Amino acid sequence: MKRLLGYLKEHLCVTILAPLFKMLEASFELFVPLVVASMIDVGIGHHDIGYLWKMGGLLILLGIIGFSFSITAQYFAARSAVYTGKSMRSDLFAHMNQFSYQEIDQVGTSTLINRMSNDINQVQNGVNMFLRLFLRSPFVVFGAMFMAFTVDHKAAVSFVFTITALAVVVGLILWITMPMYKKVQKQVDGVLKSTRENLLGIRVIRAFNRQRSEEENFRLQSRQLYSKQIHVGKISALLNPLTYMIINLGIIAILWSGGKQVDLGYLTQGQIIALINYMSQILVELVKLANLLIILSRAFASLDRVDQIFALEPSMKETGKTDIEAKKDTPILEFKDTSFVYHGARKETIHPFDFAVKEGETIGVIGGTGSGKSTFVSLIARLYDVTSGRILYRGVDEKELKPEFIRGKIGFVPQKASLFEGSLRDNMKWGKEDATDEEIYQALDIAQAREFVDQKEQGLDFRIEQNGGNLSGGQKQRLTIARALVRKPEILILDDSASALDFATDARLRKAIKENTENMTVFLVSQRVSTIRNADHILVLDDGKIAGIGTHKELLRNCEVYKQIAASQLSEKELQDGMQSEDRKTEDIKSETIKTEERKEAISAKTAEQEVRSDV
């Protein structure tokens, strides 16, 4: 609420002028019944055509003035509401942008989109209607009563009764329907959420022939919404007949008592008409007021939900060191007793572990689905903060570093390749804003995406559709890898990013990365043993625990989990080769050493012989 008032204050002038102009419009409206009364009493009563023309002209003038005030008021109200909506939307967007993955997981993307769109629209609409009606409606109700009192103070009694009865009926209906409208709003949220999920997953839904069950699901949701709306609609529909009934009873009372007064000569016919007109004005305004209250209750509920998002503090501050002293022989990354628990999860997703990575090393990360591979690499890029323990980047705790700084050192290729609408060049420049075409082509070469780009007539100007809709899964993956490589990161993280590539392209990609990225530390997350078998170290994850760390051969010997994964993917021969490759290497080294020793001995024997000869 405080925030909303802040926005309104920013545009104080239009915010104040809107209700003021509405009040001016209402004041002119209050004179109309008096003019009509005098037209009846004087113009018609005395057959004074000239007077009727004059008063008719006055009515038109009042109408024009009222209309221009009304238009001006609505313009100011709309401006203030649109300003408020715009400012709130931009501030909310900026606030959401500071959220770490933790908060995004907690709230959910659909909810965030709903807050940004539907909820802020409700608030905007609420502000608009409030500025237009919050002064006008009570002003007309009490103004009409006052005017009626000036016409005939006895008639005021029927007005008091009628207004009280109207207020009770309107209040009662609102009291019953307001909580129902809140439920309807919640249901609308549900329908929007399921629509969004459906549209996003439309390909999968079609591929699995789930259209019918999804349709059924949607129908169920909208049926619930329909029945809730009908239920609340039926109760709200009572508003009109009940209020009209009360007003008509009030009019009957006026006619009944007024009629006698007219006969006695205390009141004129015109005055009776004026009283009836005031009664009708009150009715119209009370109905408007009831609608305003319904709109306001929705707007307040939405404002509350928007405020809840504003109240959610980003757990990761965008502050910290942006410069560190490079120490020699310090590992580029060190995990010290590092562990992680997702928000709301009961157990650790990553159990405490220690591990150090030297610059230029390639680290393979393998494990079953859900074993924690993606979570592990997300921690490196500080997409989440570790729950306990530390991750050191060149000896400095990542929590002391500005997230932007550490992310700038990392080229992160997430599991789900996502590209943005725009040219291929623009997408590549996400990695490095000032990247030249040459740098982009280099990255495309390494990522094995050059050939496919060359096939496109437009080259780097090729237009990518929203979310890369006009590209295949493998093409998207290669482009996202190229995008990460453009910035020549110190650490490259490929989170199962080559899963859609065939084995040969995957192998070429790894070879190209190895050959072209000197000193780059690479994390290769994969389910394929063939992808990570040549890594300097392989981390084997099993249900969030490190089941083993070592080379392919070491793990084949002493890590049961790795052995099982390898056995399910490699042939017997490949397994044997893997076990023996190191042995063969050791044998080779041994025989090389023996040969060297023999050579050395031969040389020293020769030298001794020469020495003996020279002595002789």
- For ligand ADP, the binding residues (CB under 6 A) are 105, 342, 345, 349, 367, 369-375
- CA distance readout (Å), 128 to 78, 169, 214, 284, 286: 6, 26, 37, 19, 18
50 versus 344: smaller Cβ distance to ligand ADP: 344
162 versus 349: smaller Cβ distance to ligand ADP: 349
Those residues whose C-beta lies under 8 Å from the C-beta of residue 500, and which sit 6 or more positions away, are 472, 473, 474, 476, 477
What's the token pair of residue 299? 């707007």
What is the C-alpha separation between 531 and 510, in angstroms, rounded? 8
346 versus 573: smaller Cβ distance to ligand ADP: 346
Cβ distance 354 to 342 under 8 Å? no
147 versus 524: smaller Cβ distance to ligand ADP: 524
Q: Least distance (Å) from ligand ADP to the CB of residue 491?
A: 18
Cβ distance 82 to 75 under 8 Å? no
What's the token pair of residue 18? 């809107």
Q: Least distance (Å) from ligand ADP to the CB of residue 114?
A: 19
Q: Least distance (Å) from ligand ADP to the CB of residue 127?
A: 36
Three-class DSSP category at 41: helix
Buried b or exposed e, range 192-228, using 16+ CB within 10 angstroms: bbbeeebeeeeeebeeeeeeeebeeeeeebbeebeeb
474 versus 544: smaller Cβ distance to ligand ADP: 544
60 versus 345: smaller Cβ distance to ligand ADP: 345
388 versus 607: smaller Cβ distance to ligand ADP: 388
Q: Least distance (Å) from ligand ADP to the CB of residue 105?
A: 4
What's the token pair of residue 533? 């078998």
368 versus 395: smaller Cβ distance to ligand ADP: 368
Nearest CA to 315 out of 385, 393, 406, 379 is that of 385
Side chain identity at residue 460, one-letter code: L
Q: Least distance (Å) from ligand ADP to the CB of residue 9?
A: 39
115 versus 373: smaller Cβ distance to ligand ADP: 373
Q: Least distance (Å) from ligand ADP to the CB of residue 539?
A: 11
Q: Least distance (Å) from ligand ADP to the CB of residue 223?
A: 31
40 versus 501: smaller Cβ distance to ligand ADP: 501
Nearest CA to 34 out of 160, 201, 152, 177 is that of 152
Q: Least distance (Å) from ligand ADP to the CB of residue 553?
A: 24
Q: Over the Cα atoms of the chain, what is R_g?
A: 39
What is the C-alpha separation between 208 and 404, in angstroms, rounded? 40
295 versus 333: smaller Cβ distance to ligand ADP: 333
Q: Least distance (Å) from ligand ADP to the CB of residue 85?
A: 31
Cβ distance 520 to 490 under 8 Å? yes
What is the C-alpha separation between 121 and 342, in angstroms, rounded? 33
Q: Least distance (Å) from ligand ADP to the CB of residue 447?
A: 22
Sign of CA dihedral 353, 506, 512, 472: negative
Q: Least distance (Å) from ligand ADP to the CB of residue 349?
A: 4
Side chain identity at residue 415, one-letter code: Q
Phi first, then psi: give them for residue 2, nearest 5 degrees: -60, -40
Three-class DSSP category at 100: coil
Q: Least distance (Å) from ligand ADP to the CB of residue 590?
A: 40
What is the C-alpha separation between 425 and 441, in angstroms, rounded? 10
420: enclosing H helix or E strand:
none
- CA distance readout (Å), 164 to 168, 171, 173, 239: 6, 10, 14, 15
Q: Least distance (Å) from ligand ADP to the CB of residue 367?
A: 5
Three-class DSSP category at 521: strand
236 versus 375: smaller Cβ distance to ligand ADP: 375
Partner residues linked to 545 by β-bridges: 542
What is the C-alpha separation between 521 and 360, in angstroms, rounded? 4
285 versus 542: smaller Cβ distance to ligand ADP: 542
Q: Least distance (Å) from ligand ADP to the CB of residue 386?
A: 14
Partner residues linked to 401 by β-bridges: 321
Q: Cβ–Cβ contacts within 10 Å for residue 506, how many? A: 20
Cβ distance 402 to 319 under 8 Å? yes
What's the token pair of residue 449? 């995406």
54 versus 528: smaller Cβ distance to ligand ADP: 528
